[in-house]
Chains A and B, each alone.
Chain A
Amino acid sequence: MFIIDYIKEVYSAVKSLLKGMKLTGYYFTHHKEIITQQYPEVKQTLPERFRGEVVMLHDENNEHACTGCTACELACPNATIKIITKFDVSPEGKKKKALDTFVYHLELCTMCNLCIEACPTDAIKMAQTFEHSVFDRSLLTKKLNKPGSKIREGVE
């Protein structure tokens, strides 16, 4: 009796193994199921909400919407953003606070989106980039407002 049970057990084990192998074989021969992407030759387009890095939006006149209000700096949990402000003097001689430099430390950013949520003028947004590797860490500290850019008329 023991022998028969043993053989039965071996038989069912082999059967269950073959069942699994059949499935593996099916996927091996059915190429439409292959999902590997040929990166970097073929790059996937990422969804528009993908959080890659924080960028500042500039229009064709090199103008942005950042008022230098530091709401994003306060919202950031990691001190990733540093807003340096200056005082613009208008033609009438009035002094007005404006953005001087938007410093962004990519290496500290966790892509949590809280700064974007906090910005009252939608001056910043998340870009769909992901290839951030560089050879020098200092390259990860970025200045987001483009040189010579200024605030768009009418943005308060």
Chain B
Amino acid sequence: MFEEIGTTAEGDLVINMGPQHPATHGVLHLLITLNGETIKKVEPHLGYIHRSIEKMCESLTYRQFIYVTSRMDYLSAHINNHCCALCVEKGLQIEIPSRAQVIRILVDELTRIASHELWWGAMAMDLGAFTPFFYAFRERETINDIMEETSGARLTMNYIVPGGVMADIHPNFQKRVKSFIQLFKSKVDEYDELVTGNVIFQGRMKGVGVLSKEDAISYGCTGPAARGSGVNCDIRKLYPYEIYNTLEFDEILETAGDSFARYMVRIREMKQSIRIIEQLIDNIPEGDFQAKTKAVLKLPKGEFYQRVETARGELGVYIISEGGTTPYRIKFRSPGFSNLSALDHIARAGKIGDLVATMGTLDLVIPDIDR
């Protein structure tokens, strides 16, 4: 039974947060039981933005269903598409040209930076600092422009097709990415100056919302939320896909498990993404950007699973095929859903004023949770 708004028998106050609340960044409804200012329970209610994407995918062909997944975690739309394409390619057993692989990874990492930038701005805004939002969007805009030029869209790009990418990179791509790297390197220190080093900010983040390593594993947290607690869970390292095993980058781990640790993981991850881009940007192999595929794709009968590391954690795509042109069943394992499930645990016994900050460091994207 859901608790009702009002006062419980023990004298605790039950209040709503959302579904229309600026700090939930989407239509998430939290039912919070409070004893004074202390949180006793947080109950997330989902379904406000459920679009039955999994069911929709069953009626779309293997070429068509990829674009829908952009609408799940729209901030890592490209990485979602990537995962689906990899899963279909696994079923088709086609070889991807190395040029396409490199382009995919480059855009993946740019997406990751863009996503973390937006999170950083929104996170600071949750804590009451408005300026960082503009600074984050300034750099993010550069990435969006690069994407727009190459793929034709800024956010939900649908740039990946089974077998490669939809179009070759724009002639300006390399030049603009390089200038972005220069820009970003000079700006990322500003982020530290503006927010990370701020004593008030640190005071509100350190020791708040602690998630232990064991709990992170048992709740199935992935991505920066779990790496902040010291869990090795970077899919790019554990189950490398495409050419990630040939690249040099570090899996960022923090051990404190509090909000600040999760914050630092993302900040440091952006620098690792830059490192990956730097390795690849001058070494894009020549060749085709798309493998030859049939006009109508048919997956053999069977089950296929693929996981990738999105900006929020592990995304899994599970396809059951009956041998036809459309999947029989598709299941998405979205990172946001598992990360949200830990919210009740880490917010308990904390203060209601810290809830927004804690939620911000989990980096929830609600359409990803509801699908």
Chain A, 1-56, CB within 8 A of any chain B CB: 9, 12-13, 16-17, 19-20, 23-24, 35, 46-47, 49-51
Q: Which residue of B lies closest to A11 (CB)?
A: B199
A77 in contact with B151 (CB, 8 Å): no
Asked if A103 lies at the interface with its beta carbon under 8 angstroms from chain B, I say no
Interface string of A83-126 (1 = CB under 8 A from B): 00000000000000000000000000011111001100000001
List, in ascending order, chain A residues with CB within 8 A of B65's CB: 77
Asked if A57 lies at the interface with its beta carbon under 8 angstroms from chain B, I say no
List, in ascending order, chain A residues with CB within 8 A of B152's CB: 47, 49-51, 111, 113, 126
A49 in contact with B151 (CB, 8 Å): yes
Known: A23-B190, A114-B63, A126-B152. A49 touches B198 (CB 8 A): no
CA distance A75 to B67 in the complex (A): 12
List, in ascending order, chain A residues with CB within 8 A of B148's CB: 46-47, 49-50
Q: Closest CB-CB distance, B115 to chain A, in whole Å?
A: 20
B166 in contact with A117 (CB, 8 Å): yes
Asked if B49 lies at the interface with its beta carbon under 8 angstroms from chain A, I say no
List, in ascending order, chain B residues with CB within 8 A of A17's CB: 198-200
B198 in contact with A75 (CB, 8 Å): no
CA distance A9 to B199 in the complex (A): 8
Contact with A16, one of B68, B131, B161, B198 (Cβ below 8 angstroms): B198
Q: Which residue of B lies closest to A12 (CB)?
A: B199
Q: Closest CB-CB distance, B199 to chain A, in whole Å?
A: 4
B67 in contact with A112 (CB, 8 Å): yes
Interface size on A, residues (CB 8 A): 26
Asked if B156 lies at the interface with its beta carbon under 8 angstroms from chain A, I say yes
CA distance A111 to B197 in the complex (A): 42
Q: Closest CB-CB distance, A32 to chain B, in whole Å?
A: 13
Known: A16-B198, A23-B194, A24-B131. A117 touches B158 (CB 8 A): no
A35 in contact with B198 (CB, 8 Å): no
Known: A20-B193, A77-B67. A112 touches B167 (CB 8 A): no
Q: Which residue of B lies closest to A27 (CB)?
A: B135
Q: Closest CB-CB distance, A11 to chain B, in whole Å?
A: 10
Q: Closest CB-CB distance, A76 to chain B, in whole Å?
A: 8
List, in ascending order, chain A residues with CB within 8 A of B60's CB: 77
List, in ascending order, chain A residues with CB within 8 A of B63's CB: 75, 114
B194 in contact with A20 (CB, 8 Å): yes
B150 in contact with A49 (CB, 8 Å): yes
CA distance A114 to B167 in the complex (A): 12
B199 in contact with A13 (CB, 8 Å): yes
A16 in contact with B199 (CB, 8 Å): yes
A110 in contact with B197 (CB, 8 Å): no
List, in ascending order, chain A residues with CB within 8 A of B149's CB: 47, 49
Asked if B214 lies at the interface with its beta carbon under 8 angstroms from chain A, I say no
Asked if B64 lies at the interface with its beta carbon under 8 angstroms from chain A, I say yes
B170 in contact with A114 (CB, 8 Å): no
Chain B, 120-155, CB within 8 A of any chain A CB: 131, 138, 141, 148-153
List, in ascending order, chain B residues with CB within 8 A of A76's CB: 64
Contact with A117, one of B68, B141, B161 (Cβ below 8 angstroms): B161
List, in ascending order, chain A residues with CB within 8 A of B166's CB: 113, 117
CA distance A113 to B141 in the complex (A): 22
Q: Which residue of B lies closest to A33 (CB)?
A: B138
Most A Cβ at <10 Å: residue of B60, B138, B166, B195: B166
List, in ascending order, chain B residues with CB within 8 A of A113's CB: 152, 158, 166
Q: Which residue of B lies closest to A24 (CB)?
A: B131
CA distance A117 to B81 in the complex (A): 17
List, in ascending order, chain A residues with CB within 8 A of B295's CB: 118
A114 in contact with B67 (CB, 8 Å): yes
Sampled A-B contacts (30; CB under 8 Å) = A12-B199, A13-B199, A16-B197, A16-B199, A16-B200, A17-B198, A17-B200, A19-B197, A20-B131, A20-B195, A20-B198, A23-B190, A23-B194, A24-B131, A46-B148, A47-B148, A47-B149, A47-B152, A49-B151, A49-B152, A49-B170, A50-B152, A51-B153, A75-B64, A77-B64, A77-B67, A111-B153, A112-B158, A114-B67, A126-B152
- A20-B195, A111-B153 are known; give 20 further A-B pairs, CB within 8 A: A9-B199, A13-B200, A16-B197, A16-B198, A17-B198, A17-B199, A19-B193, A19-B194, A20-B131, A20-B193, A23-B194, A24-B194, A47-B149, A49-B150, A49-B167, A50-B148, A77-B64, A110-B156, A117-B166, A118-B295
Spell out A's residues near B (CB within 8 Å).
9, 12-13, 16-17, 19-20, 23-24, 35, 46-47, 49-51, 75-77, 110-114, 117-118, 126
Rank and list the top 10 A-B pairs by shortest CB-CB distance, nearest first. Answer: A77-B64, A13-B199, A49-B152, A112-B67, A47-B149, A51-B152, A112-B158, A20-B194, A16-B198, A16-B199
